[in-house]
């Protein structure tokens, strides 16, 4: 019972917070602030990017997180979707993620997005993330980096780099990345 009440509270808070941030974001977009992007060092040295995506609703992901007696597979899927850990790269397709190897013509854009970028303005969201998009960066067929991205909340988790990832996604990079994946 407690888990259901907690889930209900989290979903309500998530919806309220996202709406407020959306309004703030719309105000920022309508203002005359110019976003100036200063690209820096790349997070990874890679020659291939695998993109994994799962089509799952936020409510369904949250239901998994608070399920009373989840199966081992449901626990693992919930962990992948809502936690920041990256201990899963060998078997994402076993959890209904669809794998796409990004075309080499997109690698320069991906490299630019996944790099240290300084912006004059920053946007932040405060929702509960559902990491539906996962990127595996490889060099000579070996994993050199991983990233989980929630486009709805603009939250992410990146592993495998010593660079500062704090400004990842700023200056329109979340939007560029989402567009690139279509």
pLDDT digits (tens, 9 = 90+) for 21-35: 333 333 333 333 344
Least confident of 7-21, 23-37, 66-80, 160-174: 23-37
Which tokens belong to 178?
């989402």
Q: Which domain holds residue 127?
A: 2-31+39-181
Position 62 scores a pLDDT of 87
d(CA 155, CA 168): 9
Overall domain count for the chain: 1
Which tokens belong to 109?
């854009």
Judge whether 135 and 51 are in contact, CB under 8 Å. Answer: yes
In 52-151, alpha helices (H): 58-66, 72-82, 107-113
For the range 167-170, what are the long-range contacts, defined as Cβ-Cβ under 8 Å and sequence gap of 24 or more?
A: 167/116, 167/117, 167/118, 167/119, 167/122, 168/114, 168/117, 169/113, 170/35, 170/37, 170/117, 170/119, 170/121, 170/122, 170/123
* 182 — pLDDT class (breaks 50, 70, 90): confident
Which tokens belong to 108?
């320069």
Per cent of the chain over pLDDT 70 is: 75
Q: What is the pTM of this model?
A: 0.76
pLDDT higher than threshold 70 for residue 104: yes
Judge whether 147 and 135 are in contact, CB under 8 Å. Answer: yes
Judge whether 168 and 157 are in contact, CB under 8 Å. Answer: no
Geometric angle at alpha carbon 93, from 43 and 84, rounded to 5°: 45
Rounded to an integer, the average pLDDT of 160-178 is: 87
In 44-169, alpha helices (H): 58-66, 72-82, 107-113
pLDDT higher than threshold 80 for residue 110: yes
| pLDDT tens digits along 118-160 | 776 666 666 788 999 999 999 999 999 999 999 888 889 999 9
């Amino acid at each position: 019972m407690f888990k259901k009440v907690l889930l209900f509270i989290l979903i309500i808070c998530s919806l309220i917070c996202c709406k407020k941030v959306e309004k703030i974001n719309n105000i920022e977009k309508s203002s005359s602030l110019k976003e100036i992007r200063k690209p820096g060092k790349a997070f990874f040295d890679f020659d291939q990017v695998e993109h994994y995506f799962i089509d799952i609703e936020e409510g369904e992901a949250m239901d998994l997180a608070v399920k009373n007696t989840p199966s081992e597979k449901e626990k693992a899927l919930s962990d992948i979707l809502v936690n920041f850990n990256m201990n899963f790269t060998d078997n994402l397709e076993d959890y209904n993620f669809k794998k796409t190897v990004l075309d080499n013509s997109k690698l320069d854009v991906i490299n630019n997005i996944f790099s240290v970028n300084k912006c004059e303005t920053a946007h932040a969201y405060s929702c509960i993330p559902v990491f539906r998009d996962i990127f595996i960066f490889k060099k000579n067929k070996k994993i050199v980096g991983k990233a989980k991205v929630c486009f709805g909340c603009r939250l992410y988790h990146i592993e495998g780099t010593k660079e500062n990832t704090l400004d990842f996604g700023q200056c329109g990079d979340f939007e560029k990345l989402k567009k690139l994946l279509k």
